[in-house]
Amino acid sequence: MRDGIPEHGRIPRYYAVKVQVLDLIAELGEGAALPTERELCDRFDVSRATVRQAVSELVLEGRLRRRQGSGTFVAGPKLVQPLALVSYTEGLRQQGIEPGRTLITLEHRPADPGLAAELRIEPGDPVVHIERVLRADAERVGLESTYLAAARFPTLLEVFDPAGSLYACLRDQLGVVFAGAEERVETVLATPREALLIGTNPALPMLLMHRVSWGPDGVPFERVRSLFRGDRLSFTTRLTPTS
């Protein structure tokens, strides 16, 4: 608790409750139901508004989960997605979790100037845009948009199964070799559309990953924008002196 206390010594009441709820979470263990709001008010002798603020921060941080109509429960640990040249599929399978995808958009669209520069094509050239909701077991955890130069992958839409791994398809069916990628990670808020598709509260901080990947020729072949629930996922990376 000490680590959360401002130097001037005044502890916000909701934060004191939050620390006590964290202790309760540790006691209860994953999957257990949290006592009701009313019970927490009685237990900590605070108002409903105070309990609500403490609980909703813990929900935003992924320590608690709300299930519609059935209450609030102790959440499991966050999923870990490696920042490495592995696909979403491989990353989750390494943790014993079954990945799933729901196709939202599959279209050809003209590249805007920014995308064209990144893929080294001309503005207006057609790109394939694949947008999918990402699931971990049954749960929706993210939304991914991939953009590929259409001229480079003319047979993609004939061989690609939107429910399967795009990377496996590129590698195994189209002979693509992943030679490198650049990734950028930041935290953002979801747009209303994204929140609806992923099934989250728009106030929930999300992790956004931008990736540009290239082949042995050094020419970028895809741009990816992956948005993940910040309460359900973290990224890991292993560093070596040459990386």
Is residue 185 close enough to count as binding a copy of itself by CB under 8 A? yes
Is residue 154 close enough to count as binding a copy of itself by CB under 8 A? no
Q: Quick one: tokens of 96?
A: 């014993």
Choice from 5, 28, 116, 174 touching a copy of itself (CB under 8 A): 5
Q: Check if the beta carbon of residue 211 is closer than 8 Å to that of residue 182.
A: yes
Dihedral of CA 242/219/132/93: which sign?
A: negative
CB of 196 to a copy of itself, least distance (A): 5
CA 64 centroid distance within chain: 17
Q: Check if the beta carbon of residue 141 is closer than 8 Å to that of residue 198.
A: yes
Q: How far apart are CA 32 and CA 24, in angstroms?
A: 10
CB of 218 to a copy of itself, least distance (A): 13
Cα separations in angstroms, 214 against 104, 218, 240:
25, 5, 21
Query: Which one of 107-115, 119-127, 155-163, 193-201 is the stretch in contact with a copy of itself (CB under 8 A)?
Result: 193-201
Query: Which one of 35-43, 54-62, 64-72, 151-159 is the stretch in contact with a copy of itself (CB under 8 A)?
Result: 54-62
Is residue 6 close enough to count as binding a copy of itself by CB under 8 A? yes
* Interface with a copy of itself (CB under 8 A): 3-8, 11-12, 15, 57, 60-61, 78, 80, 83-85, 178-189, 191-194, 196-197, 205-207, 230, 233-241, 243
